[in-house]
Structures are given as C-alpha cells and as structure tokens.
Amino acid sequence: MKSLRALVGLPQKAGFPYFENDAGMPTYRKEVLAALPRMPYGNYWLFTRVAHKLMADYVREHGKPDIIHAHSAILGGAAAVKLGQEWNIPVVLTEHSSAFARNIYMRWQLRLASDAAKAASSCIAVSPALGDLLGKELAASDVAWKWIPNVVADRFGKPDCSDLVDRPVRYLSLALMTENKGQKDLLRAFQQAVGKGVVEGELWLAGNGPIRSELEQLANELGIADRVRFPGLIPPSEVPALLKEVDVMVISSHYETFGVAAAEALMAGLPVIATRCGGPECIVTEGDGLLVPTKQPAALAEAMVQVSRNINSYDPEEIASRARDRFSGKAVAEQLTKVYNEVLKAGT
C-alpha cells in the first residue's frame, strides 16, 4: 500500500504492470492508496477490496489455485484468509515482520493478525525466534509456527579461497542506517578492536539512512575516521561485487526477524559476526563465524579480534556450501512443497 503522505510533493513513478508473466508465474498487481490510516480496519478494507478483484481476475484467466500463500498477516495474510474462505482454498501464511517485536501494531491489527493465523491452514515464521514471539503475541490463535527461512539468491559465484595477505582485514556492515541496526555499537566495538590488536583493520559501513551523519560524526569523535569507509547505498546488483572486496560481514542489529545480509555473506563464503538479535541465531552455525549478545560493543570487539586472528581458518567453500544447503531456492522450495502437500492432504 502507498500512503497519502508518501504521495505529497513527490514526482510519481510509473507503476507496476497490472499483469505480467513472471518466469512462468501469472502475476497480478495493483497499488492501493492507504487513504484511511486513522480508521481501524479502514486500510484493511481497501486492501481486501483490491485483493478480491485481483483474485477474481486470476481465477477467470487461470482457474482456481490449490493453495493461497500469503506473506505477512497484516495486511496480506488477513486478506488471503477471507479470499480462502470465499473460494474454499486453503491458506499458508508466512510472517516476516519485525513490527511485532517493535510493539508498533495497534490492538485491532493484532486481532487481525491473530484471526489470520487462526484461519490459516499452516503458519510459517522466517526464524525460530520470530515463531516464538508470534506464539506469545498472537496467543489467542493457538498456532504452532513452523520455521522455514527466507530464500537467498545463489548469485555469488565461486568464493575466493586465497589467504588474506598484504592488506587490512575488511569488516562490512550492509544495512539501513537506523538505531535498530546497531551501527553505533559497531563503531565503538571497532575502536576497541583496534586497541586490542586489529591494528590494520578497516570498517566499511555500506548503506544509507536517517542516522548516517551521526555515524560519520561518531567515527570522527572516536578517532577512527581514517579507518572507516562509507560506500553509500549499494544496489542489489552490486552486492556480489562488494562482498568480493571484504573479508567479514558484521551484523550489529538489536533485532532481526531473519537477516538476509548475514545469509548472503555466507552464500558468498564470508564468515559472519552477528548479534543474537533473533534471526542470525538460525543462520550462523559452527564454522560460519561468531554470535555475540546485542548492545554490547565489548563483546562485538572481542569477536572482531578473534575472527581477524583466525581469518585464514575459515573455509569459504565450506561456508558457502552449508549456506546453499539451507537457504537456496531449491532448499527452501523443498520445505515449502512439504508444507503444501501436508495442507492438501489434510483437506482431502
């Protein structure tokens, strides 16, 4: 949905086509103007109205699907279960949203999400931690949340297995620059790591966001500005090239439902240092890197020192192979196919 605020004073871009064949998948899209933000259920009603039209067009042209798979209870999942009830189609719901952890949903939204989860034939969370949280936040739905990770595109090629020589260890943070991503913790950790022996280390803070100027100022105040780079916003197509230039991915977030940047780094063969912020615990396994508590720069610094001293002990090919086995399209599709078959069998 697009908000009224987002439209004010901004040039309008060309929208998505109403229909396209997306790699063999018939796809219908329509933007919905979020015109009723202050009315409980208002935008949900607008969203559902458009979803009903899209569904009717799909069924008319391609027949009734066997399953509706919705992503995020608010608003897609809530609309999907209504469509499922109307058309007698089972619904699978996958939840990704960090808004539950950030406590930003209103009561009516939580009721909507709870009702959607209760009506769905199967519910999936993208990490075990998110599943546990949803079990508490949506307790009235009494749902057992399965865990299936996000798909990570296998677009990184063969990892570089050469030893690191003749240049500093390069740590990369690739994230939106907000308080939740913990880049201030990371800058303080890097300062401590430099003092503990990562003398030649470099920290690359890639991305952009509302606190970028604060991060640049903090790097100056900590006396590490000459060791910190700000490459700016990196288009998705350029991420593989960026990962080839660095040695370690660092996730310093305070909360993540999954952690695509961590999984992508592993697919590229990079070790990962990450906070135990919800998502990375199911991503970073033994041999992949290190996990540390959130909001503790000293622990993050110690991990950076430890990884830098043992950087050549990490096997890029093994790291990438383990990641592909868990996060590739094939791996995730196999898990989803199992869920679909269970749902269809239960409905017979």
What pLDDT was estimated at residue 164? 60
What pLDDT was estimated at residue 348? 65
pLDDT truncated to tens, each residue of the chain (348 aa)?
Answer: 555 455 445 455 556 789 999 888 899 999 888 777 778 888 899 999 999 999 999 999 999 999 999 999 999 999 999 999 999 999 999 999 999 998 999 999 999 999 999 999 999 999 999 999 999 999 888 899 999 999 998 888 777 766 666 788 999 999 999 999 999 999 999 999 998 776 679 999 999 999 999 999 999 999 999 999 999 999 999 999 999 999 999 999 999 999 999 999 999 999 999 999 999 999 999 999 999 999 999 999 999 999 999 999 999 999 999 999 999 999 999 999 999 999 999 976
What pLDDT was estimated at residue 162? 66
What pLDDT was estimated at residue 161? 66
Domains in the chain, CATH or no CATH each: 2-151+329-346 (3.40.50.2000), 170-327 (3.40.50.2000)
What pLDDT was estimated at residue 7? 47
Place of tokens 């996000």: 150
What pLDDT was estimated at residue 15? 66
